[in-house]
A and B are shown apart, each in its own frame.
Chain A
């Protein structure tokens, strides 16, 4: 029995600067638990905008967004932050690791923010996640001592630390060479297979998208194909 983790109902979005432009036009879809979904489309079709709305970071939209069956509208900034902290793992095009902290500490930070477990346990978990991604040897290094592919894997480990409901990625392989891209993709697929992790990845790499369970294709703010 599959279960809906994320549902978008008629989401529309306008940019008002400099002219009013509609970037999203009544977008509706839902994601089941354990799915590996990719959103593709040309540059400017609104796929990233959609992702930021789905991630609760952008709150200026029309329509309804349900995460784990709960409506996100009307929630306070701090409540949305808590949702992101617990339910959503993020992987961006750029790794966004904090150079002041070690790799391990970077992975631990969202876990410490959640505060559900004592620090020692979070550290253990972080180490486990790094191990899954095969970079536990670098745990005590600073992020700026790692290569691009390694950094992106650390970022994935950070997204995993709170065992989120869904992992969202905005062009997670956009900055990586082919070899590293494949590596990251394999990790994602491994996560869905082994841990039944739900994934939602925005990409313009059709080859990458082609290997996912489900492709949502967008054009001019609308879904034109949802397999």
Chain B
């Protein structure tokens, strides 16, 4: 009953001052629009940049590293136990890069409920031989289909068909940078030499472009069989097992488990790419800070307009109080004015923010470094819209709080007698 009356009075006051109200609402709309636009764009860029790494990196990589033995023989001698043993000039042990018993490990991983996919890989350093020049490079022997499923390998093959790698024997997909250096075109044969001195002719079936120049200059892909042939090893030889998990956050914990379980090195993505998390975090922080600053400025606008309205409406407030409206009622009237500016402006802001986001989404963004991206990336996460509307309501509430309190404390006697 009373709520309806208070609403009526608020609306009438709003309508009577509709120009100022509109300016205040536009302030809120503008800040929410920018908030949504900015966060969507920033978050989109974050996603893109993270994707550069995360989509192409295993959540956990199992491999063997060349390193000194963890337990030195002196530690096993009974007499020297309980001492600190200083050993100088330790050399890494002669470890093969092959993962032992890889078939069994893969089988067991496939049964693990945390794992969403597995791709085995052979990584080996090679020389690309062009005439008398030798370029250093790295060949990744991959399971083409698994690699494509897990890391969308297809997207980064800019020329040629990725599946040829599997279908054409002794084929190679060259990094774009390496191909440019060697002037190798599709269909050409190039010669590679392994560190052990094995030589092999490989047929170029495509170019690969990751967006990271340093990688494209060096890396190339062959099928896992070709790599095994190149190295002259048996067909169960692999050097890496790449694991994709269902939940990326569990990677560090699971890496520890796998290290123990399979007796190999296990590197999780968080440890390997700590700088990306930091970058994303800072960028998000900046966008929130800018968005919230905009809203606070809008809040001051509302504060000013309500203050002016209260000065103008002093008489009306006095008479309302004289005819039986309590301070609380007057307070509610002005708070509801502030809130309706906030909600109306905020909702419009969400709409415009969505519009702005879609507009940014249409702007062409072509860069040779990112072959799959055609327009600016935008994130339409509903979270931003939720935060935007909540924040606009909270800000306008506080902007309305102090003027409303002032209005509720107006003494009608002073106003009425002052005339």
Chain B facing A: main interface SS: helix
Whether the Cβ atoms of B419 and A98 lie closer than 8 Å is no
Whether the Cβ atoms of A93 and B419 lie closer than 8 Å is yes
Determine the distance from Cα of A101 to Cα of B328 in the docked complex, in whole angstroms. 21
B89 interfacial by beta-carbon distance below 8 Å: no
A176 interfacial by beta-carbon distance below 8 Å: no
Binds B, one of A4-12, A84-92, A184-192: A84-92
Tell me which residues across on chain A come within 8 A of B413, comparing CB atoms. 52, 57-58
Tell me which residues across on chain A come within 8 A of B329, comparing CB atoms. 81, 113
A109 interfacial by beta-carbon distance below 8 Å: yes
Whether the Cβ atoms of B328 and A96 lie closer than 8 Å is no
A106 CB to nearest B CB, Å: 9
B318 interfacial by beta-carbon distance below 8 Å: yes
Determine the distance from Cα of A82 to Cα of B16 in the docked complex, in whole angstroms. 27
Whether the Cβ atoms of A96 and B416 lie closer than 8 Å is yes
| Contact residues, B383-419 vs A (CB, 8 A) | 411-413, 416-417, 419
Determine the distance from Cα of A124 to Cα of B15 in the docked complex, in whole angstroms. 26
Determine the distance from Cα of A175 to Cα of B323 in the docked complex, in whole angstroms. 21
Tell me which residues across on chain B come within 8 A of A52, comparing CB atoms. 413, 416-417
Residue of B with least CB distance to A76: B326
Determine the distance from Cα of A223 to Cα of B323 in the docked complex, in whole angstroms. 28
Whether the Cβ atoms of A84 and B324 lie closer than 8 Å is yes
How does the 8 Å CB contact mask read for B312-353 relative to A, with 1 for contact and 0 for none? 000110111111111111000000000000000000000000
Whether the Cβ atoms of A113 and B325 lie closer than 8 Å is yes
Tell me which residues across on chain A come within 8 A of B9, comparing CB atoms. 109
A100 interfacial by beta-carbon distance below 8 Å: yes
B11 CB to nearest A CB, Å: 9
| Contact residues, A75-115 vs B (CB, 8 A) | 77-78, 81-86, 90, 92-94, 96-101, 109-110, 112-115
A170 interfacial by beta-carbon distance below 8 Å: yes
Tell me which residues across on chain A come within 8 A of B323, comparing CB atoms. 84-85, 90, 109-110, 113, 158
* Extra contacts besides A57-B321, A96-B322 (6): CB < 8 Å: A48-B417, A52-B416, A57-B413, A81-B324, A94-B416, A109-B323
B residues adjacent to A (C-beta < 8 A): 1-2, 5, 9, 12-13, 15-16, 315-316, 318-329, 411-413, 416-417, 419
A residues adjacent to B (C-beta < 8 A): 48, 52, 55, 57-58, 77-78, 81-86, 90, 92-94, 96-101, 109-110, 112-115, 158, 162, 170
Pairs A-B, 5 closest by C-beta atoms: A85-B324, A81-B326, A96-B319, A78-B326, A100-B12
